[in-house]
Structure 1
């Protein structure tokens, strides 16, 4: 059987394309080592070291022999594959081209020596296509971590070489999105900046290329104290001079497009069935595609975004036309289609631009913790993600230019289609949009739509069909509703149905003197509504009440107070009557006109207690579902108080999927409940969901939801719930680097808890305030808050709180230069944690003592204790603690001189901090990594890490990490022979440390998680 092996992703093996079971992680580690060294014998002691590191079991020889025996059996049927024992060690015999790492390296070598750029581009594409993810994914040993870092560096170097080739071939348009993402990840790489500037210039974005140069120049000056190199400066001068030599080369044969790793969203709603008419309008939209686009080499100067606005009265079919055309032309936009219903005329929940940008960025592959917080920052990231990509953006139901302006791409390669009741003159005047006003359907087209919907009856009664079309104001929405009713009463002549509608119009007096088509549509709604059964009519009315986007059948059952089966039946009836529409996945939506009409009917026919009971049942359903989901995701979540209905734990993946699907409705329920009388639900929902929000959920809306809970608690006078919400709000602000807002929220919570006489909560609030002052560099204030917290914990007999306060006081002592006092604080904390059986905290304090104490014999057992803690937190899935333990391990390894392992642990911690969104700890870990790398002899990379730390610390206002960054850059510059720059950073570091009244830290020893 043909065999294929991979390490550029998870370690895997395939025989004739079928995956092979390679056993548990340690066994896959063995294979991974042999694959990297394929064709070369690996000595036994080296194999053991690479697979186990320091955690060598007592009977390692037997374990190794067992793993190798199983691996031999697993690949026994593979042609040309053999694992042998030789005197020099174990040897894996395999064709190198069957192993992705060796195939990648060979293809890169061939690409770099190719005779033509076209051949090189193809070889680079094949090489980079070998990658499936992070090398050795899921495996963790010091050697694998170090090798992983080396392989990622090789990939980055290959990508840079590939970029040069594609630029020479004139393929700058397709390359730009990848360049934008890479520049964001490597802001100090001058070669990458040159490539990005050239691509921007060739796409007709000279101003953006100039801004790219200014940005890297600022970064280099601020973070490294240096100027751009000669090559980058020269390119900038040529761009400003519009040097003809920078023009893209022409190509006789179009180059194949590389798909790359970027997601390709396909968000268009389903096409409309039985679409009729609008031939001229579709042709007008088709002409938009003939306009030049920015990534077409023939029109490199066309950089303006093509925008079309479809405007017209409600129900005229704007959305249907937009969706129909978007589906017709989707192949012209191979990078994807984005869609959002902005609900511009929704009385309760119009979509704000920041939320729409969050949805778009998520669809484009930006992870939730990486979403920028401010609207302008999100809009900038959105434009960067779309740069150079051929995408269609459909913005449905827009209310104003202000709502849509932040959602406009900056790339001429994109097309934006907008629907609105308003004509949006500002889009035309300012942004050059093409406006297409939709009128009522022509009579022939209106009758044609009826014919498609109800068939031959239209031809048998042409006059009645024409009257029916007129009675529906020739609006597609009304025509569909009328057609469904006619289809349901196939034995009744159309003329009789027309007369019935006319009677409803007169009897209900829904027509106004001005002949407003919307009034006639309401008459059609009424006509269809009157033909519903009593239970279906009630369900329709209630569906107009909830906030949010759409309802799942389970939520509809709660709203209507029926079983799920009855709810599904009622929803089916309403969908067949075209009063609601299916949204996929058991969800149903409603046109905004129908929603308004249903809510109007509910206010007229259902009593206020009935309406309140329906929404209460729905919010109870959301709360119970949230409790169950949180119980599945986090086995011991904090219980929601008061209204928390019991839930059962279930599958974690299903729970997360439910939360992600329902999140728009959950958020809407919180904000709606806080302002419309469901205060307890708003409080309980926000509190139940807080851990999900805090652990990397939809961070963009987390602050809004938590603030709504605080407002709801204040409205009902629940000071305890208000204080809890404010504490949660403070934590969110602190995690996002908004320290002043965090301090304000914590101070408000402290005041409330003090008034309530809740000493335990007061102690917690004091500790939280201390943590903010710590971050701000106000160490005396931090110590004062920690001391007060310690006094209260001690009085309460709370040994865990007492130990935590002692640790924090010890960290302040260390920061202020009094290591002896720090040790005196930490030793009783260690005893308390040992008595409590808190192994994680005990290991953490041991790491602090190992870093502070002079006894080197303490280091090895501390490392062992931390390894046990690391295994425990990984098994529990606690990423926050995992990041902290990795930092602690790095500190101990640095003291032991094991710098490669320290650096590897810090890189892992950085990944977790970024995933969680803990920017303060990220800045700290970057400085730690810089110190370790400098001690390991890599001064240039150390300076780069400190530079990133400096930029981030400035952004979040952490002055101590700024000082550490300056100090680290100065140390690196001294090594690389840049004394003038070193002196500048030394002076800035000294000034900051003096302002903070703390001594400079010890170079080469990480901070060991002091940001907790």
Structure 2
């Protein structure tokens, strides 16, 4: 049975993952000495001296033998012995089962590592073994001396780690830990030098100068000396703006979870392009002399010439040259209706690079800056397919020479060459021999039997790969017809096409499309045309069924016909897509052959279908069961019947029943998982439909779909997409002049801003909603908007404004006779009073609310108020009652799949356990809450939970762990402007640093004083 031992924290042993009882402190001290010397004998005299010191009793040897015997019994199950050897007693465990010896081995390996990246990873592993102070809870002179020695080893490793990270250019991530270390070791010049350099490289020259002056004052006051030569020289170089101080790009260790691999599938039967591939290969060659590396390659050529196929083929060939991953986006630059917005492309890339939705900035330039930062030091390939202009591409260019961007475009984009030094590769029509080879690979021996006709067919297809593939599929489907006859048919179709324009290959490819299209059955041809109307990039059979007003089985059959004709390609998960030229051609045909009312009716059916599916899925996933405040308008929002609009957004249509089967309503984990899978798969289409509808007159649909999707997107969907969808509803409501719908959409948008920590934007959006509701006389909705605005002020630390808004909301609820609303306002006012130090008044306000929730049977609100009362009183009966109710609430929200409510329940339960002294359970619950807060992007709640966890760990004696949590909380709270959590973080860092935390202590006091708050809550 495997055993593991630890001394870098409390002395502990585990066998098969389960802790071993090691007895009292003296007995654990014996084991600590043996673990430090694992495998080496320690004499009896040494053991006695190290365990008792000068105060050893007369019968210490007898006690020692007893302790050794008990330890043998405890460790015997793992085959670990304590042997008597000529030199004394030795623990037979492998030294590498002891965290101390693993730490030392990793540090040694790091110092001899071949690269800084490897060294950084090894030292990070070594430092990760530490759980607190060595031998925590044990106190003997030898152990105390050894403890200080080991802490010195840890500091040396940390200093080495800092140097390595600085060389790698990762100065930004070092600043929080460096600040804490400098506060703990204010006279350490090497630490100060690292801090000064990190600040300077982060663009904070003034702070770097102040840091230098601080240690100079400290050294003068404490030691009567000046900074050493190294630190003085660094300061001089900073003042001189020495360019060699600028860091090299950060080299990041790519992990499988954050290495994107977005390339489309490689192309079947790819033929020719040998010269072009060779030119592309040269782009990987190192630059000559002082030339900067090539970072942009442009593949240009006419539509259908095979630019995307060549780009994807080459990208797959060289993917090993880009170990940090490949990014891909089809910009749809020539789609008149739905080109991909640059901001959306950036959001997709940032998500693929591991940036959480809440951290994706709102503006295009800010997203572009974050994107460039994320790519710094990475070696990646970025494939930008179907770009139409330099402006569509410019924000997507990395700022580092370690990445290569491959762009495909129908246009030459001369600006890319002039401004960005792009290497252009012009892609011409396939040479005739290669075109014939492609036909042979697709059709087979018939090409060899009729070589001259095959050349005619290739010429008729304008030697365009897309057209050749379509023609080949048609020829394969009509194996009994001679190629000559097929070429003749194509000639007839070309004559009949008004689209033909001599010398324009795009006209030729339309002719080939027409040839294939004209051979379709009428029902399949209609479906092909309707697919050109779809606003998304891929469809499922049930989507097509809605468009065509057909059954799902019939839709699958017709899609099969289109796949065999190469007009549609089948993808993963039962999805189907189209080349952008074919999409444009289908849209042209629809405009020419299908009357506008029929096209609008088809899209209306599609939108009904999506809305029905979204309603069924979200109803299954999110039944109304949550803590007060987990959804901004869950109770008070006026109910609206979903409807999809006809032309101009005015005509009502019947509410569709059912919805897609995969998202069907139901209960249980199976139904919930099916609903979640459907929403995730259809999310891009739902978002595209919403934005398209808002821009083209389906205003009611856009409003209803956005409101339906809101709960799902708010509970963890991509933040940028959630904002885009909700903003579409705002614009749709504005276009309709529907102030009530606009107010509701603004309320949803305000919540998204608040969740992402954009508190000022949230406040401005809530104020717009509040003004609309007040003008409409919607008192219930106005009360909710007041409550939401109060919560933003609460987060901003403006407690007077928060209380004022809560009081106004309570007055509205009283006018309406809404007891639950009044109770909610009372709970929020109690929170303000408790924050300001009036616990008695807060408790008085909470008890009537608790009675009301109990009477109403609102178990979730009852559990929350009980947790608040338990925190205020700490009475054992209150704590037990609160814990029991919260456990029930937690089980219910987990069953409902409500991650937001689950995170809040875990946080509340952690607070109750912490008040009751159950610190391990409290820490576990807070870690679980943090995972959920991060997943759903609730940055304000994340900062609060980090500080809570820091307080719990500090109460449990883990000062290092507490410090790490408070450092993270401080960074996050500063980003979102939450001054109270900033104050708590400074307060926690001061407590974790002990007497050396004066700076943090002063900042905490100032912030608490500015907020008129007595201080941080204790456990």
Alpha-carbon shift at residue 950 of structure 1 (Å): 4.3
Alpha-carbon shift at residue 849 of structure 1 (Å): 3.3
Aligned to 1:93: 77
Which deviations, in whole Å up to 9, do the C-alpha atoms of 1:302-334 show, x marking residues without a partner?
A: 874632110111111110111111122223333
Aligned to 1:331: 320
Alpha-carbon shift at residue 243 of structure 1 (Å): 7.5
Closer/same/farther in 2, CA of residues 124 and 984 from structure 1, 3 Å limit: closer
- Aligned 8 A contact 1:39 1:93 in 2: no
Alpha-carbon shift at residue 976 of structure 1 (Å): 2.7
Which deviations, in whole Å up to 9, do the C-alpha atoms of 1:936-960 show, x marking residues without a partner?
A: 7777776665554444334323344
2:505 to 517, 534, 540: 517
Q: Counterparts of 2:577 and 2:5 in 1: how far apart (Å)?
A: 46
- Aligned 8 A contact 1:950 1:965 in 2: yes
Q: Counterparts of 1:948 and 1:931 in 2: how far apart (Å)?
A: 13
Closer/same/farther in 2, CA of residues 102 and 526 from structure 1, 3 Å limit: same
Aligned to 1:312: 301
Aligned to 2:792: 772
Aligned to 1:527: 515
Closer/same/farther in 2, CA of residues 181 and 360 from structure 1, 3 Å limit: farther
Aligned to 2:973: 953
Closer/same/farther in 2, CA of residues 877 and 101 from structure 1, 3 Å limit: farther
Aligned to 2:460: 471
3-state secondary structure, aligned to 2:386: strand
- Aligned 8 A contact 2:298 2:425 in 1: yes
Aligned to 2:995: 976
Alpha-carbon shift at residue 762 of structure 1 (Å): 2.6
1:648 aligns with 2:636: no
Alpha-carbon shift at residue 550 of structure 1 (Å): 1.0
Greater displacement, 886-895 / 706-715: 886-895
Q: Counterparts of 2:772 and 2:883 in 1: how far apart (Å)?
A: 42
1:401 to 382, 386, 390: 390
- Aligned 8 A contact 1:349 1:547 in 2: yes
Closer/same/farther in 2, CA of residues 834 and 34 from structure 1, 3 Å limit: farther
Alpha-carbon shift at residue 406 of structure 1 (Å): 2.7
Aligned to 1:726: 746
Q: Counterparts of 2:624 and 2:110 in 1: how far apart (Å)?
A: 62
Which deviations, in whole Å up to 9, do the C-alpha atoms of 1:145-195 show, x marking residues without a partner?
A: xxxxxxxxx9xx999969969998xxx99x969x6896599685779xxxx
Alpha-carbon shift at residue 839 of structure 1 (Å): 3.6
Which deviations, in whole Å up to 9, do the C-alpha atoms of 1:640-698 show, x marking residues without a partner?
A: 83246433234433333322222111100011111222223222221221111111111
Which deviations, in whole Å up to 9, do the C-alpha atoms of 1:863-888 show, x marking residues without a partner?
A: 55555555554555443334334444
- Aligned 8 A contact 1:276 1:445 in 2: yes
Gaps of 5+ in 1: 9-30, 47-85, 137-142, 144-153, 192-207, 249-256, 294-298, 1007-1012
3-state secondary structure, aligned to 1:321: helix
- Aligned 8 A contact 2:454 2:483 in 1: yes
Q: Counterparts of 1:916 and 1:262 in 2: how far apart (Å)?
A: 18
- Aligned 8 A contact 1:891 1:902 in 2: yes
Greater displacement, 838-847 / 179-188: 179-188
Map 1:792-831 → 2, pairs under 5 A:
792-831=812-851
Q: Counterparts of 1:247 and 1:938 in 2: how far apart (Å)?
A: 35
3-state secondary structure, aligned to 2:327: strand
TM-score when scaled to structure 1?
0.76
TM-score when scaled to structure 2?
0.75
Closer/same/farther in 2, CA of residues 728 and 857 from structure 1, 3 Å limit: same
- Aligned 8 A contact 2:5 2:99 in 1: no
1:922 to 929, 937, 942: 942
Aligned to 2:341: 352
Closer/same/farther in 2, CA of residues 394 and 134 from structure 1, 3 Å limit: farther
Aligned to 2:555: 567
Which deviations, in whole Å up to 9, do the C-alpha atoms of 1:78-132 show, x marking residues without a partner?
A: xxxxxxxx9999778236899999487764443345698259999999999999x
Closer/same/farther in 2, CA of residues 852 and 526 from structure 1, 3 Å limit: same
Q: Counterparts of 1:99 and 1:584 in 2: how far apart (Å)?
A: 50
Closer/same/farther in 2, CA of residues 815 and 159 from structure 1, 3 Å limit: closer
Closer/same/farther in 2, CA of residues 482 and 850 from structure 1, 3 Å limit: closer
3-state secondary structure, aligned to 2:395: helix
- Aligned 8 A contact 2:20 2:74 in 1: no
Q: Counterparts of 1:241 and 1:220 in 2: how far apart (Å)?
A: 14
Greater displacement, 679-688 / 371-380: 371-380
Alpha-carbon shift at residue 536 of structure 1 (Å): 1.3
Map 1:599-998 → 2, pairs under 5 A:
599-636=587-624, 641-643=641-643, 645-646=657-658, 647-649=664-666, 650-853=670-873, 858-859=878-879, 861-862=881-882, 865-866=885-886, 869-870=889-890, 872-874=892-894, 876-892=896-912, 905-929=925-949, 946=966, 948-965=968-985, 975-977=994-996, 979=998, 982-983=1001-1002, 986-987=1005-1006, 989-990=1008-1009, 992-993=1010-1011, 998=1012
Closer/same/farther in 2, CA of residues 877 and 455 from structure 1, 3 Å limit: closer
Which deviations, in whole Å up to 9, do the C-alpha atoms of 1:912-957 show, x marking residues without a partner?
A: 3333222222333444455566677777776665554444334323
- Aligned 8 A contact 2:295 2:422 in 1: yes
Closer/same/farther in 2, CA of residues 978 and 551 from structure 1, 3 Å limit: closer
Closer/same/farther in 2, CA of residues 336 and 5 from structure 1, 3 Å limit: farther
Paired residue total: 883
Aligned to 1:449: 438
Aligned to 2:51: none
Q: Counterparts of 2:254 and 2:889 in 1: how far apart (Å)?
A: 42
Map 1:49-448 → 2, pairs under 5 A:
93-94=77-78, 102=97, 107-113=102-108, 117=112, 188=179, 212-214=201-203, 260-291=255-286, 304=293, 306-448=295-437
Closer/same/farther in 2, CA of residues 988 and 302 from structure 1, 3 Å limit: farther
3-state secondary structure, aligned to 1:597: helix
Q: Counterparts of 2:94 and 2:1014 in 1: how far apart (Å)?
A: 46
Closer/same/farther in 2, CA of residues 648 and 892 from structure 1, 3 Å limit: closer
Q: Counterparts of 1:337 and 1:962 in 2: how far apart (Å)?
A: 38
3-state secondary structure, aligned to 1:398: coil
Closer/same/farther in 2, CA of residues 777 and 364 from structure 1, 3 Å limit: closer
- Aligned 8 A contact 1:41 1:92 in 2: no
Alpha-carbon shift at residue 467 of structure 1 (Å): 3.2
3-state secondary structure, aligned to 2:424: strand
Which deviations, in whole Å up to 9, do the C-alpha atoms of 1:511-556 show, x marking residues without a partner?
A: 236x322122222222221111111111111110010111122222
Larger-Rg structure:
2
Q: Counterparts of 2:731 and 2:748 in 1: how far apart (Å)?
A: 13
Q: Counterparts of 2:386 and 2:5 in 1: how far apart (Å)?
A: 48
Aligned to 1:1001: 1014
Greater displacement, 679-688 / 925-934: 925-934
- Aligned 8 A contact 2:687 2:725 in 1: yes
Closer/same/farther in 2, CA of residues 862 and 570 from structure 1, 3 Å limit: closer
- Aligned 8 A contact 1:399 1:420 in 2: yes
Closer/same/farther in 2, CA of residues 522 and 121 from structure 1, 3 Å limit: closer
3-state secondary structure, aligned to 1:775: helix
Aligned to 2:526: 538
- Aligned 8 A contact 1:6 1:100 in 2: no
Q: Counterparts of 2:780 and 2:592 in 1: how far apart (Å)?
A: 50
Q: Counterparts of 1:232 and 1:653 in 2: how far apart (Å)?
A: 59
Aligned to 1:506: 495
Q: Counterparts of 2:110 and 2:759 in 1: how far apart (Å)?
A: 57
Q: Counterparts of 2:156 and 2:533 in 1: how far apart (Å)?
A: 55
- Aligned 8 A contact 1:891 1:1005 in 2: no
Closer/same/farther in 2, CA of residues 485 and 747 from structure 1, 3 Å limit: same
